[in-house]
Amino acid sequence: MEPKKSQKADLETKRTYFVQFGLIVALLISLGAFEWKSYEKQEINLEQRVAADIAEEIIPITKQEKPPPPPAPPKQTTLLNVVDDDVVVEDEIILDVEADDDTEMEEFVPVVMEEEEVVEEKIFIVVENQPEFPGGEKARRIYLAKNIEYPQLARESGIQGTVYLTFVVEKNGSVTDVRILRGIGGGCDEEALRVVKAMPNWKPGKQRGKPVRVQFQMPIRFTLQ
């Protein structure tokens, strides 16, 4: 007996495809069930909300004041000194406008001012009459004892000894060119210079009866008591 169904209408040939499709659909449904998430519903009561009272910050409005413009500069006025035409102007320069190439010019000879040679007077070391402190040698020692102040640095360091000085006694008795020949330090040298420079005028030295400049040396001893 021949089958009445056509080959296209026969579902047995497509059974395998239907089974595979069904398995795929079942698998997708299973995965979707595992991945499904549920959330609890929360009821929001709008009446319980309280509006926050936030104070608004008020920013003051500042006004920028422009600095006043600088004062106008004073007006400058020019004064003209009008001179009459008949005024004679001294030191007038005369120009020879008729001079040509053949005109002979006088040779200009500059005037050289001769400098006066300053001759320094001789300084004597040994003279007939030596310079003398006013009042004599005793007065000189009293002056040094009263005016010399022992330096604090030398006192604390225990420095003592003799400072040797040299100076020039001028013809008028003044003391100049004070220098240290040998010092001991500790401020003693500076103190000796100060006291000698402050000395009153000496009695000048004399050579052949005339006052002359004399080089003088003086020792000043610093001793701790």
What mean pLDDT, rounded, does the chain reach? 77
pLDDT in tens, 175-221: 999 999 999 999 999 999 999 999 999 999 998 889 999 999 999 99
CA 215 – CA 166 distance, rounded (Å) = 7
CA–CA distance, 199 with 201 (Å, rounded to integer):
7
Please tell me the distance from the alpha carbon of residue 166 to that of residue 177, in angstroms, as a whole number. Answer: 8
Helix then strand then coil, % of the chain, to nearest 5: 25, 15, 60
Assess contact for 223 and 201: CB atoms under 8 A.
no
Q: Please, are residues 174 and 147 in contact by the beta-carbon 8 Å criterion?
A: no
CA torsion angle for 142, 144, 146, 149 (degrees, to 10)?
-160
Burial 11-22 (b: 16+ CB within 10 A, else e): eeeeeeeeeeee
Q: With bands split at pLDDT 50, 70 and 90, how would you rate the model's confidence at 54?
A: low
Per-residue pLDDT reduced to its tens digit, 85-99: 555 555 544 445 455
Kindly list the structural domains of the chain, giving each domain's residue range(s) and its CATH number in brackets, ordered by start.
123-222 (3.30.2420)
- Separation of alpha carbons 176 and 120, rounded Å: 14
Q: In this predicted structure, what is the pLDDT of residue 93?
A: 42
Distance CA(211)–CA(205), nearest Å, equals 6
101 pLDDT higher than 70: no
- Per the CB < 8 A criterion, the answer to whether 207 and 128 are in contact is yes
- Structure-token match 């395998």, residue found: 16
| Global pTM value | 0.47
